[in-house]
Amino acid sequence: MENNKILCNTGTVDLSIQDITGEIERIEKAADSKLSLTPENADSSIAKLVLTLVELIRKLVEKQAMRRVDGGLLTEDEIERLGETLMKLELKMEELKKYFNLTDRDLNINLGPLGDLM
């Protein structure tokens, strides 16, 4: 193989560290995101899976809502009610995560080459 396949690497970010760290994080996440169901942990595993989906939907709703706010499509009253709803949803998610002893990192799924779900 040609000795040097790196033709250009002139940036300021420490790439070797960045790349390796990224890969390690991805592998760790992939391992963590596997659903390992056993009779002992059936409750928490299902909770993790369900909450991951709920969190994904919550974030999608939030993103879409911000698009609408940003686009000037909502009245002040609607924005107010939207804020209340989103805030309460977020607080409820925090409660559920705490109840099931889950962190933000737990509520993610590694989709291999596609990257992380969230």
Partner 1 sequence: MAILIYSLIFIKDRQAQLNDQLITMNGLNGTNLVAISLGEITAVVSEIKKIELVANQANAIRFAEIIDQLDQQFTLLPMRFGSIVDTLDTVSQMLKTNYQGFIKNLVEVENKVEFGLKIYCDPEKLKEELRLKSESESEILDDSNTEHSVSVYRVYVNKKLKAHRLEQKLLSYIEGVTAEFSEIIGQWDAKSKIKKMVTSAKVVDAVFLINRAGKVDLVRSIEGLQAKYPRLSFVLTGPWPPYNFVDVTLK
- The nearer residue to partner 1, 49 or 89, going by C-beta atoms, is 89
Assess 2 for contact with partner 1 (CB under 8 A). yes
Q: What is the DSSP string of 26-81?
A: HHHHHHHTS----TTTHHHHHHHHHHHHHHHHHHHHHHHHHHHHHTT-S-HHHHHH
Name the minimum Å distance from CB 44 to partner 1: 27
**Alpha-carbon Rg for the chain in angstroms:** 20
Among 13-21, 33-41, 45-53, 93-101, the segment contacting partner 1 (CB under 8 A) = 13-21
Question: Which residues are near partner 1 by CB under 8 A?
Answer: 1-2, 5-13, 15, 18-19, 22, 26, 62-63, 66-67, 69-70, 79-84, 86-87, 115-116
